[in-house]
Amino acid sequence: MRNFNKMNIAIIGLGNIGSYLYKYLLSNNNRLSKKNNCKPNVVFVSAKNRKKRRNLKIDKNKWLNNYLQATKSTKVDIIVELIGGAEGPAKKLVFNALKNKKHVVTANKALIAKYGDQLSRIAEKNNVNLEFEAAVCGGVPIIRSLKEGLIANKINKIYGIFNGTSNYILSAMNQENKSFDDVLVKAKKLGYAETNPLSDLNGDDVASKLKILSSLCFNSFIDNNIHIEGINSIDRIDIKNADILGYKIKLLGFAELIDNKVYQRVHPTLINNSSYIAGIDGVLNAVIINGEPVGESIIQGEGAGPAATTSALVSDISSILRGNVKFPFSISSKERKKLHFSNLKERSFSAYLRFEVHDKPGVLSDITNIFSRNRVSIKRLIQNPNKSKKYSSIVIITHKSKDKFLNQIIRQTSQKSYIKSKPKLIRINDN
């Protein structure tokens, strides 16, 4: 057998993903060595609970008493951070590793979204890699595609489905005609949702990923000016109405460069049934990139889970094994720009609005007058009375209108005595 040069790896965090990665590197060591002309050699591991059952055979000499030992050890070349979270041990580990000239591979989107700019400067100063393919969309190779495969392109827009949990819930609500709460229970049982899935449901998970992608697309620093809405308020009525109107509801993230301004937004979106992304169901992710000269590119795949995440982690490890030292965000921090990140107030969208109202004379007239006063033109109106309960559901589809006016309608109608519950606003993707 051929002798390869080797690089020593420390895996910090042995949950489902860390354990899967450890087994994968051991069982595929020979193949990876041949492909990379360098051997990935796991020398150390660390975990919060060493005694936890993991179905792994790990030499006791590989266990670190303190995870930070990996950052100082002369035996370690690459540290794989799988602790998670933007603060605490994960933050301490990655900052110390880079300062001590260790390459870092991480799946930690929260850490990169919050401290990526600082970490990239340290990595560049010390001529080491900070790799985070696994932080965004798991098995979908979007980070490397932006850094390398699409390097010739000026990207003007990136959007898509970036969270498998929310996509599964919305898909199941549509296909099984079940409530949000019922589908969430099922998602937890199947392992598609965490015990506490708040960041998946409120849009924070997508927002972290989008901020990273936005920075890569537009060669800019990470910016927190982002509009975030989750799927918590979506119910069966909205799913059914969307289907009748020829749409599906998806939680989408958008980053767009328009007139040298960047707009970042995460929110439920009505998309036409005929569009490609409408067919992405279950736990799949899909990313759509618009650039010049390539036009539109689409990448889809498993967004999470040990196998998909390991695929991304090994891709990053392999890049380092090949000796590819490169800028974490594709270009030097000195060349990255501080663009103007704008809110959505002046952007125009078509929209779906739903009003649950007490069924009495003058209600519809008053609502349409509010639309008129806010300069929002009505494209389609559906009224569904429920005489037994003495209320009606009014659904209005608008022509393109400024976002600030659409939200003014929501605020003004919410104050009316005939409103039974908070009005619903869902933007429509017309592209």
CA distances from 6 to 63, 126, 311 (A): 20, 21, 20
CA angle 241, 245, 248 (to 5 degrees): 75
- Which token pair is 309? 């995440």
Number of C-beta neighbours around residue 298 at 10 A: 12
Compute the distance between CA of residue 138 and CA of residue 162 in angstroms, rounded to an integer.
Answer: 9
Beta bridge partners of 381: 396
Compute the distance between CA of residue 324 and CA of residue 7 in angstroms, rounded to an integer.
Answer: 13
**Residue at token pair 């749409």:** 247
CA distances from 402 to 186, 260, 398, 408 (A): 38, 19, 11, 10
Compute the distance between CA of residue 272 and CA of residue 269 in angstroms, rounded to an integer.
Answer: 10
Look at residue 258 and give its three-state secondary structure: strand
Whether the ω angle into residue 197 lies within 30 degrees of 0, i.e. cis, is no
Would you call 390 a catalytic residue per the annotation?
A: no
CA angle 382, 386, 391 (to 5 degrees): 85
Number of C-beta neighbours around residue 35 at 10 A: 12
- Which token pair is 405? 């006016």
Compute the distance between CA of residue 245 and CA of residue 224 in angstroms, rounded to an integer.
Answer: 34
Spacing of C-alpha 248 from chain mean position? 19
Backbone angles phi, psi at 117, to 5 degrees: -65, -45
Q: Which of 209, 248, 250, 424 is catalytic?
A: 209
Beta-carbon contacts of residue 235 (< 8 Å; ≥ 6 apart): 179, 180
- Which token pair is 217? 């697309």
**Residue at token pair 């289907």:** 243
Q: Which amino acid is at 341?
A: F
The Cα diameter of the chain in Å comes to 86
User: What is the DSSP secondary structure assignment for residue 38, as one 8-state letter?
Assistant: S
Catalytically active residues are 209
